[in-house]
Amino acid sequence: MLKKILSVATIGILVASAYFFTEKQAMATEVELYKNPQCGCCENYADYLRKNGFTVKVNPTHELVAMSKSAGIPEDFQGCHLAMIDGYFVSGHVPVDTVNKLLTEKPDIKGITLPGMPAGSPGMGGPKNGPFEIYQIGNGQPSIYTTE
Amino acid sequence: MSKQKISAYSRRKILTTSAGLAVSAALPNFGWASTGSSPTDIRLVAAAGKRKLDPAFPEASSILTFNGSIPGPEIRIPQGSNLTVTVDNQLSEATTVHWHGVRTPNAMDGVPYLTQKPILPQSSHTYKFKAIDAGTYWYHPHMRSYEQVGRGLYGSLIIEEKNPIRVDRDVTWMLDDWRLEKTGEIQDNFGNKHDMSHNGRIGNFVTINGKRLDKFPVQKGERLRLRLINAANARIFALDFQGHSPVVIAMDGQPIEPHKPDGGLVILGPAMRIDLILDLQQENGSNHGIIDRSYKGLEYQLTSLDYATRPLRNHKPDWGIKLPSNNLPEPDIQNAKRHEVLFHGGMMGGMILRNMGIKSTKPASMMGMMHSKNIWYINGVAAEGSIMDPMLKLDINRSHILQMTNATAWHHPIHLHGHSFKVLTRNGKPTKYQEWQDTVIMAPKETVEIAFVADNPGDWMFHCHILEHAASGMMGVIRVA
């Protein structure tokens, strides 16, 4: 009997958490950020997103190469970490204006990427040496999504 | 993955491997003491194979092996032996074998183009050298090593002391780290730019002597000499022996004042070795995990020390644990010649240089770096292909101090061939144990001073042993002449 009560309670919790998760997803501020465990700049980027109203969960992983590959990002276009937001991926140090543009416009793509770790980008510090070229990744070749 | 041993003490003439290959060893009839040397003849066959790294995997992994096993055969010889090893290359690509940490003559060092011609497929090459230093060493290819070593081409080389310390068991653990698909096959993304520019190829499946080892049976009262060898491309281990107090007695083969490691963690960068004395003093029938705490948030249990229900003995052994010195030439610090070495580049490298106030024109830009394999630099130079021009020329038979600064955001285990060096200081503070090493791990922004007598003539490699870093620039040549 006790067992039965417990399992019912467990299901209740699972349902509640699933509901909670869906609710948050709809708000589009929940970010799952996957990063190299030793990378400091990715933590800075997580803080930058938090300051801009996102809720960020940071997940250290050694699997970024495989994850970027399965996301469809060619090797030369990979950012150093991978953030999952509202069904899209955001790879690298993409400025928040572009992230918001993506979440507002909801284009039919898989995600966007700022390759490398350009100086001056959010979380990186240093002087900005030129415009950031942010690429969109869909089913075809990567193409420029926006420049800022 | 049977672990074989080739021992000069054993009288077996032929060891048959699981793949049906034969290892021949011409074995001595005399001990070290009576002859002063023991000629030992060994054959290593490098070949591709398929093997499940864990029985639970649906697919076999595409591996490379010496003599059909991972690790290759353990070569055990007495100090002072003359070792002869013929390497037979049955791979589809060229290879070489480097005797990591062993002070061999230059021509025996196994570096393609620099010290020998590559061993082409279907050909062989013979290495001969005297095993002058006792200790824990290993062998591995020095050609496209990020894939050849990464797929399993390596083995241990144990050079035994004339009068070894007393232990109940002398155990070698070659630690390795594999990046596997869910099927068990090895992910075929060796040498990609993410790994090269960050912290190398870190995997998702860790093995001890080529297999997952969930339990390691022990008995209360037992004393182990545990020889740890980090054969991983890039993974650093920081081992917490729960409920136990391992004592470090040697690093990189060379004896050290026996001590408990800082914070109880046994830290091994790639290519490093640590010999431990492990006294098993927990309760009969108990289990104690060995936890790897190297990467925050990604801790896992490497294996478990599982106690038998009955003890081996009821008291802790009181036998001596200090190893005899190999009598390495002592550097003359007062009159040593100083050299500065700056490591830079990699992801976030520009930021670190700015933070440290170091001016450098290399790399020109992060994007430029991402589109070539010139990612890491030593003193402004990223090595390309097989480098030959020395970055440093050291006067022979003179003491030298290298002041090395890691101006990068990442750890680097820096390996010098042909010599063991004394680690004098870290960030200006003398090291407690003045350890001898051949591979010294440097933390981001750390400065380490090493000293040695340059007594082994030739052109020697000097490189990061995160194999992806070595392949993307972090390599140089030091000439001793």
Structure tokens at B90: 């049955």
**Which residue of B lies nearest to A73 if distances are taken between CA atoms?**
B194
Interface test with A, best of B236, B351, B358 (most A CBs within 10 A): B351
CA distance A118 to chain B (A): 6
Q: What is the Cα–Cα distance from B206 to B316, expressed in whole angstroms?
A: 32
Q: Least CB-CB distance to B199: which of A36, A75, A78?
A: A36
| Contact assessment for residue B249 and residue B256, using Cβ atoms and an 8 Å cutoff | yes
> Which chain B residues have a beta carbon less than 8 Å from that of A36?
198-199
B367·A75 Cβ contact <8 A: no
Q: pLDDT tens digit string along B81-134? A: 999 999 999 999 999 999 999 999 999 999 999 999 999 999 999 999 999 999
B180 touching A (Cβ < 8 Å) = no
Interface A-B: count of C-beta contacts within 8 A: 79
Q: What is the Cα–Cα distance from B361 to B350, expressed in whole angstroms?
A: 10
Structure tokens at A129: 């040496």
**Which residue of A lies nearest to B235 if distances are taken between CA atoms?**
A62
Q: Show the DSSP H helices in B109-192 as ranges.
A: 145-148
Residue B220 DSSP one-character state: T
Q: By 3-state DSSP, what share of chain A in percent is helix, strand and coil, each rounded to 5?
A: 40, 25, 35
Per the omega criterion (within 30 degrees of 0), is the bond before B363 cis? yes
B298 touching A (Cβ < 8 Å) = yes
A38·B298 Cβ contact <8 A: no
> Which chain A residues have a beta carbon less than 8 Å from that of B199?
36, 38
Amino acid at B42: I
Closest Cα partner for B95 from B82, B105, B77, B110? Answer: B110
Interface test with B, best of A33, A57, A62 (most B CBs within 10 A): A62
- Stated pTM of the model: 0.89
Closest Cα partner for B19 from B86, B81, B88, B69? Answer: B69
CA distance A36 to chain B (A): 8
Q: pLDDT tens digit string along B354-397? A: 889 988 766 655 555 555 778 999 999 999 877 789 999 999 99
For residue B448, CA distances in Å to B111, B370, B422, B427 come to 26, 28, 11, 6
Q: What is the pLDDT of residue A6?
A: 41
Exposed / middle / buried, residue B364 (Cβ in 10 Å: 0-12, 13-18, 19+): exposed
**Which residue of B lies nearest to A64 if distances are taken between CA atoms?**
B194
Q: What is the Cα–Cα distance from B144 to B127, expressed in whole angstroms?
A: 20
Tokens 């005899």 -> residue: B324
Interface test with B, best of A59, A65, A68, A135 (most B CBs within 10 A): A65
DSSP A65-133: HHHHHHTT--GGG-BSSEEEETTEEEESS--HHHHHHHHHH--SSSEEE--B--TTSTTT-S---S--E
Q: What is the Cα–Cα distance from B129 to B107, expressed in whole angstroms?
A: 10
**Rounded (10°) CA dihedral B390, B391, B396, B402:** -160
B326 pLDDT above the threshold of 70? yes
Q: pLDDT tens digit string along B171-202? A: 999 999 999 999 999 999 999 999 999 999 99
Q: Least CB-CB distance to B296: which of A37, A41, A119?
A: A37
Q: What is the pLDDT of residue B237?
A: 98
Q: pLDDT tens digit string along B10-20? A: 333 333 333 33
CA distance A28 to chain B (A): 26
Q: What is the Cα–Cα distance from B90 to B70, expressed in whole angstroms?
A: 16
A60 touching B (Cβ < 8 Å) = yes
ipTM of the shown complex: 0.81
> Which chain B residues have a beta carbon less than 8 Å from that of A61?
298
